[in-house]
Structure 1
Amino acid sequence: MMRSVELFVGAGGLGIGVSQAGFRPAAVMDWDRWACDTLRENKERGLDPIAHWPIHEGDVRQFDFGTVDGSVDLVTGGPPCQPFSMGGRHRAFLDSRDMFPQAIRAVRELRPRAFIFENVKGLTRSSFANYLEYVRLQLTYPDLVAKRDEEWLAHLARLEDHHTKGTEKGLRYRVVMRVLNSANYGVPQRRERVFLVGFRADTGIEWHFPKPTHSRDALLWSQWRDEVYWDLHRVARKNRPEGGAAEARALKIADRPLDEPWLTVRDAISDLPDPEHAPGTARGFHDHRFQPGARSYAGHTGSPLDEPAKTLKAGVHGVPGGENMLRRPDGSVRYFTIRESARLQTFPDDMVFHGSWTETMRQLGNAVPCQLARIVASGVRDKLSAA
């Protein structure tokens, strides 16, 4: 069994996917009490794979990686993304919440054969381009640390000099980066995350990101060309939404796509009882309770039932959840329940979440879909196994 260390694990989306890919964590850590309570509760319930996790609650800046016994094959994590979120305050390196320096420290001290770090798509904004390059070069040369009182731009220049010199000395990683849309990998949500994956140079590994397996065109074909989608869900023609632009696009597709169709909200939750109109039957499902107060307004119109969900959001100002809504074909809206949101993030159905609806939605909104994490981590595992 390959060994991993999971940083900033939160509710465990990335960590669960990594474990499902065949890694056994030597340490799993996060500072957030509510997220750690969620993990501990599921650990006590014996939920696989969390049941085997050594959970450490605390500030990663205070964690001594020297306490991790033995070699580590993989370090993973989602450094807190608020500085780079499209909905955040965009402070980047000026924001004390930026935990990339700790991710780099973990790589430097643990010297894993590989790492996987992810963050929101906002990290790729042009205004953060220099800082993203700074992160990438630090992960490439983790031993080349900043000097005392050295500003980050000066450190970046020194890293650039070192990189262009082409030296082979010291700890070095080959780093690739790509923005992945979760919907393209069988997740019922259009959620774009940037992944940075690196392999230690001495492994000699060549690697590329997994090829997408699902597509929008395949969904449109299934809905508006052969109509298999509606037949599968037993939706009578009179109850189907208007095709509109989607149907028009489907008619322009020359050949049946070879990919699988994008999964939709209906695909994800159709077997769950309606928590608003049938609350009695909904009580048989963990965390599947109606949350009142949803309303649609400009920029917050919810996720159509027959498309992948929009990105679930954690929210940094005001009450979170403005986009965490289902929009029915008749135009009415309601909030997704915690269980439905967990489905959209591909968490195990028997996992429970600790905290209020607002707190739990924050955990879910910050998570990586388990399915996407498993696919990326499986690709890394396969290469490490063959090296």
Structure 2
Amino acid sequence: MTIHAASSAPEPSEAGTSIELFTGGGGLAWAMHEAGFRHLLAVEKDGRACQTLRLNRAKDHEDGSFDPTSLDDKWPLIEGDIHAANFKPWEGKVDVIAGGVPCQPWSLGGAHKGYDDPRNLWPELFRCVRETRPRAIIAENVKGLLRPSFKPYYEYIIRELSAPFIKRVDGEDWRDHDKRLIKALEDDGDDPTERYDVQYTLVNAADYGVPQARWRVFVIAFRKDLGLVEWDFPKPTHSELALLHSQQSGEYWKRHDIKPPADAEQEALPLPPPDGKLPWRTLRDAIWPGEKEYRGLRLPEPLEPLEAKLEHPEWLHHFGWPGAREYPGHTPNELDRPAKTVKAGVHGVPGGETVLRRDDGSIRYMTVREVARVMTFPDHWRIAGPRGEQMRQLGNAVPVVLGRVVADSVAAALRPSLGTAESPSGAI
């Protein structure tokens, strides 16, 4: 089988060291790697996701082994419950702790138990911070974390991340712990290396070049002694308005060498002036890009389901799947808009998120590789398990392009102190 590379970008230069928590199928981990962070450790409980990580960049961690010394080295992987992981061996060695904290307690598709859910793993992230004392933290979660019903606990999360060394006592109700945090944060504390400046931002991945409408919360923290309180989340680079302008002007259709829809002129309503941003990337941009488009090669139409017992001879995870349907509440993706939010699909049948409508009006299921394109994984990324498991890993991941935007910005903020006493990596 020929494996097509997503790009020919040169290997990144090192930006620092990192530990990846809740690594899943590797979206944020790969983004951090591309930004130049050398993973000292990755932690993941799910067996299929660990298989995926091993198929790509990971190897099992062995106690007492040496840490990776270059970006070419494999990522040491702990497969198991994060509660059992000991991070103390990496104290003072880690620049960034990063992870997509499991979303089930907060997701609109979940049971909405929030802080009462045993899958709430924010406390484990705080423990990792206490044991390693990183310079920065990157945490990603679903939009549901900002629901009014969870707002008090969300504010508590931010305060606990601001002062993670003020530990919650065994048996202490989180509300009582929060009162102690509020009081403690009234002053700057005695040790700035034990306090963090924290920001959170709700973003749509489409606004950063991901061909998918996907709202997520990013929580970014810098250790207070670094003086990075003025850091701000990267500004959006893409917009719906720019997409509409490119479609109305014909540039979009010309780029794809297709005729505009028959009703395009009738829908050509006056638009506000251009905003200077790039157009939102569409599903068509992701799977059938032009010669000069980002992500490179066009994916061929998948083999028909009856012929798809084996992988496509030239593409990983690109095979047809039978039974696509359309009905109320289950509608296909349109090619010339960003795709719908890719979901893990563990709470019932999704709303058509993995179905697309062809130009001739027919519909079919998207292939795993097409969904991976929508999540902006490189084409060489192997995903373990049967189709359902592959889709679940993709739905739980951080889009690589969005993760890269965040990782690059954090790397740039930390760079002035790289190679100094404040930086454990000593990177240049």
Q: What TM-score does the superposition give when structure 2 sets the normalisation length?
A: 0.84
What does the per-residue CA deviation read over 1:200-235, in whole Å, with 9 as the maximum and x for residues that have no partner?
A: 0001113100011111111000001x2110011111
Distance (Å, rounded) in 2 between the aligned partners of 1:127 and 1:49: 42
Shift of 1:69: 6.5
CA deviation profile, 1:68-95 (whole Å, cap 9, x unmatched): 3651100000111011111111110111
How big is each residue's C-alpha offset from its partner over 1:247-274, in whole Å with a ceiling of 9 and x where there is no partner? 32xx222x33311111000001011111
**For the structure 1 residues 241 and 174, does the alpha-carbon distance in structure 2 shift closer, same or farther, using more than 3 Å as the test?**
farther
CA 1:328–1:30: 2 relative to 1, 3 Å: same
Per mean C-alpha deviation after superposition, the further-off stretch among 48-57 and 36-45 is 48-57
Secondary structure of 1:134's aligned partner: helix
Q: Does 1:273 align with 2:300?
A: yes
Aligned to 2:426: none
The answer to whether the 8 Å contact 2:199/2:219 transfers is yes
In the alignment, which residue of structure 2 is the partner of 1:132? Answer: 154
Aligned to 1:196: 219
Unaligned runs of 5+ in 1: none
TM-score by length of 1: 0.92
Encode CA deviations 1:279-320: one digit per residue, 9 max, x unaligned: 689431100011112212222212110001010000222355
> 1:20–1:49: 8 Å Cα contact kept in structure 2?
no
Give the superposition deviation at 1:330.
Answer: 4.6
d(CA) in 1 for partners of 2:379, 2:91 = 33
Which moved further from structure 2: 274-283 or 86-95? 274-283
Name stretches of at least 5 consecutive residues in structure 2 with no aligned partner: 1-13, 60-69, 289-297, 418-428
Among 272, 276, 292, the residue aligned to 1:258: 276
Report what 1:371 is aligned to.
401
Equivalent residues in 2 for 1:100-179 (5 A)?
Answer: 100-163=122-185, 165-170=186-191, 171-179=194-202
Match of 1:222 among 240, 243, 246: 246
1:96-117: CA deviations, max 9, x gaps? 1111111111111111000000
Compared with structure 1, are the counterparts of its residues 217 and 103 closer, same or farther at alpha carbon in structure 2 (3 Å cutoff)? same
Quote the Cα distance in structure 2 between the aligned partners of 1:351 and 1:181: 24
Describe the SS at the equivalent of 2:390. helix
Instruction: Answer whether contact 1:42 1:50 (CA < 8 A) is retained.
Output: no
In 2, are the aligned partners of 1:16 and 1:50 still within 8 Å (CA)? Answer: no
- Work out the CA distance in 1 between the residues paired with 2:411 and 2:71: 17
SS state at 1:231 partner: helix
CA 36–49 in structure 1, closer or farther in 2 if over 3 Å, else same: farther
Secondary structure of the corresponding residue to residue 290 of structure 1 = coil
CA RMSD of aligned residues (A): 2.2
- Which residue identity is paired with 1:371? V
CA contact (8 A) 2:91 2:132 kept: no
| CA displacement 1:348-381 (0-9 Å, x = unmatched) | 1111110011111000000011111111111011
- For residues 313 and 387 of structure 2, the distance between their equivalents in structure 1, rounded to whole angstroms, comes to 15
- 2:388 is aligned to 358
User: Which residue does the alignment assign to 1:295?
Assistant: 325
Deviant stretches of 4+, over 6 Å: 278-281
Q: Which residue of 1 aligns with 2:237?
A: 213
Q: Which residue of 1 aligns with 2:103?
A: 81
Deviation at 1:190, TM superposition (A): 0.9
Size of the alignment, in residue pairs? 378
Q: Which moved more, 1:35-44 or 1:175-184?
A: 35-44
Aligned pair partner of 2:85 in 56, 63, 69: 63
Residues 138 and 70 of structure 1: CA distance in aligned 2, closer, same or farther (over 3 Å)? closer
Task: Using the TM superposition, give the Cα deviation of residue 28 of structure 1 relative to its aligned residue in structure 2, in angstroms.
Answer: 0.8
Retained in 2: the 8 A contact 1:321–1:335?
Answer: no
Verify the 8 A CA contact 1:181 1:193 in the aligned structure 2: yes
1:336 to partner: Cα distance = 1.4
